[in-house]
Amino acid sequence: AIEESTRRRESALRQHAFFQLRVNLKRGNDLIARDKSGTSDPYVKFKVNGRLLYKSKTIYRDLNPVWDETFVLPIEDPFLPIHIKVFDYDWGLQDDFMGAAYLDLTKFELGK
């Protein structure tokens, strides 16, 4: 039964040439401190297949940032996961990696 529902979902996804994913990036909680001051300057990147789709604003000196950003991501291939990575902005230096997550779009319901 699971295989049949997976097949139906994949078939539905293949019927469309293009998708849009509406995202509401709300906040981060208890992020790790990456700066000597004991805080971080976090921002979030959304990528698919190494290509940047969206970058949030940077919230300075905050381990519990509130972005409250809503945006739409163009999805050309729903079978490729979205990589979500959080970084600490460092002026003039390489930004520090803070954490990551992946979104498997095949698990979402169309139109929801």
Quote the pLDDT of residue 16.
65
- pTM, 2 dp: 0.84
Contact (Cβ atoms closer than 8 angstroms) between residue 59 and residue 73: no
Contact (Cβ atoms closer than 8 angstroms) between residue 41 and residue 88: yes
Contact (Cβ atoms closer than 8 angstroms) between residue 42 and residue 87: yes
Quick one: average pLDDT of 16-30? 89
Contact (Cβ atoms closer than 8 angstroms) between residue 60 and residue 66: no
Give the start-to-end residue ranges of the domains of the chain. 2-107
Structure confidence by residue, pLDDT tens digits, 89-100: 998 889 999 999
- Whether the pLDDT of residue 25 is over 90: the answer is yes
Pairing label, strands 51-55, 66-75: unpaired
Contact (Cβ atoms closer than 8 angstroms) between residue 46 and residue 54: yes
CA–CA distance, 106 with 80 (Å, rounded to integer): 9
pLDDT band at 5 (very low <50, low <70, confident <90, very high): confident
Q: To which CATH superfamily is domain 2-107 assigned?
A: C2 domain (2.60.40.150)
Structure confidence by residue, pLDDT tens digits, 37-81: 899 999 999 999 999 999 999 999 999 999 999 999 999 888 899
Quote the pLDDT of residue 88.
97
- Stated as kind and residue range, the H or E segment containing 3 is helix 2-14
